[in-house]
Amino acid sequence: MPSRHRPKAPPPPPLSDAERFAQAIRDHEEADRRAAQAKVDRKAEAERRKVAAVEHAVKLERAKAAHRRAVELVKEAQRSGKGAAAADVAWRAAKAELIELETGEPPSWAAKPESSEPTDGGDDDAD
């Protein structure tokens, strides 16, 4: 039976002083490039977070304004005695959006978003 032992590759020849110096320079330049790229990445991430925070603040302000309008609708419906159901639906939607933007999660009582996919999961022709 043949031997399964394979000879090892010979170790690389030792580097000369000039080659070690050149390798050290290349390593240093690579470290500098990585550090510069990391700085660029951190700056881009900070900018992205800043933009996201501004967008969130705008959405939150719009939601607060919508909530104020919905509260006024409810008050008007109570005064006039008309449109209470529609005003209540508008208030619930505005309040749910406001809570979701403030906490990050929709309230448990909020209406679920409608999906565009059918939920019956079967064919109607299979009778």
DSSP states of 59-103: HHHHHHHHHHHHHHHHHHHHHHSS-HHHHHHHHHHHHHHHHHHHH
Condensed to tens digits (0 to 9), the pLDDT of residues 95-122 reads: 999 999 999 888 888 877 665 555 555 5
Cα-Cα-Cα-Cα torsion 29, 33, 36, 40, nearest 10 degrees, comes to 170
Rounded to an integer, the average pLDDT of 9-17 is 86
How far is residue 95's CA from residue 66's CA, in Å, rounded to a whole number?
9
Query: What is the predicted pLDDT for the residue at 1?
Result: 60
Q: What is the pTM of this model?
A: 0.58
Residue 80 identity = S
Rounded to an integer, the average pLDDT of 12-30 is 92
pLDDT at 92 over 80: yes
> Helix (H) and strand (E) counts for the chain?
2, 0
Q: What is the mean pLDDT of the chain?
A: 86
pLDDT at 58 over 70: yes
Query: What is the predicted pLDDT for the residue at 123?
Result: 53
Query: What is the predicted pLDDT for the residue at 127?
Result: 45
3-state class of 112 per DSSP? Answer: coil
CB atoms within 10 A of CB 67: 19
